[in-house]
A = this chain, B = another copy of it.
Amino acid sequence: MQVISGGITAAKGFEASGAAAGIKYSNRNDMAFIYSTVPCTVAGTFTTNVVKAAPVIWDMDVVKKSPYAQAVVVNAGIANACTGQQGLDYCKAEAEKVSELLNVPADAVLVGSTGVIGMQLPMDKVLKGIEMLVDAKSDSEEAGSIAAQSIMTTDTVPKEIAVTVEIGGSTVTIGGMSKGSGMIHPNMCTMLGYVATDVAIEKSLLQEALSDIVKDTFNMITVDGDTSTNDTLLVLANGLAENSLISEKNGDYEAFKEGLFYVCRFLARKMASDGEGATKLFEAKVVNAKSKEDARTLSRAIVGSNLSKAAIYGCDANFGRFLCAMGYSGAQFDQMDVELYFESKNGRLKVFEMGVPLEFDEEKAVEIMKADEVTVYVDMHEGDAEATAWGCDLTYDYVKINADYRS
């Protein structure tokens, strides 16, 4: 597997674009487009929130029922969530507009929205935006970057990645983009993530690979514990790499899965480190747990705790907060078996051992925690399962961003 430059347009046959439709922002792009020149196999995972946004309901239907997909229209600024029947009608209108302009079936068009909940989309602007998107689409690397920028809301950096994997003599490319950065919490957690690949693979296997990978990537990040109404992750696979069709769990499947895992993990970590107001990536690694599920639960609880996140922000090696979060996570364990370390590129420090707090060098601890990526490493001494979760610190800016997001 090799990381290459580029993003959503890296794979053969994929085009993208961005447009400034003026939905909520002025002076910046707020719509993005992904298009494949040929029909794609599609897989997706979606929010588990009972209050699903209209585009989530639309996309779930497309992924489940349509024979193929070929385009994705995304807007930032308004989430089209809690918008009743009108919101659903608007999704259909977007798909029909693309259908009309590009001669693809409306049920091959996916839609995505992110932004304020409880507002209707200004459809005149959105439909004009779609015209601009279709006109501007290109398979260039720059077009992919523009699309990644166009879906940002409170994100501070665009998030894109591309890799290649060799599958039976063919080079398969996997490109992806995503956006955060608030209302982020495990359970299909990312707001929006898109992966475009030229692999040839059967739909059921694409979905299985994705669902499996999500558990250890997107579902292991949290910014604020709020599972969004709009979370959507889609993978479009158009087969143009001309590898022999992956139709069973063989070596080809594993090679593709490795690449897809890399792309998803990269985008997930990137979202965590760019969480609203964040100054740091906060990683929790739990090893030697009784079960994989316990390891996931414990690591997510650590990065999800407001008190832990505030301590990470303040470079305060207040390890009791991390143990406290593990204690209420729902996993059962004996504190007398636990070892806890702080780690970063600046060093490693053991602070708790088998139920007993250790004397440690506070200056050294601050030095370690000052890094831009800080890891809490926990050895449970109970089994051999491990998991890693990602979050960010809790800062004044998180409060600032969210105390008046709408204005």
Please list the residues of chain A having a beta carbon within 8 angstroms of any beta carbon in chain B: 48-52, 79, 81-86, 116-120, 182-183, 185, 187, 224-229, 304-307, 310-311, 313-314, 316, 318-321, 323-329, 331-333, 335-336, 351-352, 354-357, 394-396, 398-400, 402-407
Contacts and interface: CB of A to CB of B under 8 A. Distances in A.
Contacts of A404: 314, 316
Most chain B CB inside 10 Å of its own CB: which residue of A226, A228, A398: A226
Contacts of A305: 225-226
Given A83-B357, A116-B320, A226-B306, A49 B399 contact: no
B228 A324 contact: yes
A155 to B, nearest CB: 16
A226 B324 contact: yes
A402 B310 contact: yes
A325 to B, nearest CB: 7
Given A226-B328, A321-B117, A314 B403 contact: yes
A307 B185 contact: no
B316 A403 contact: yes
Given A50-B327, A307-B182, A319-B118, A313 B226 contact: no
B357 A118 contact: yes
B306 A82 contact: no
B324 A84 contact: no
A50 B83 contact: no
A276 to B, nearest CB: 9
A270 to B, nearest CB: 21
B402 A324 contact: no
A356 B82 CA distance: 6
A50 B394 CA distance: 25
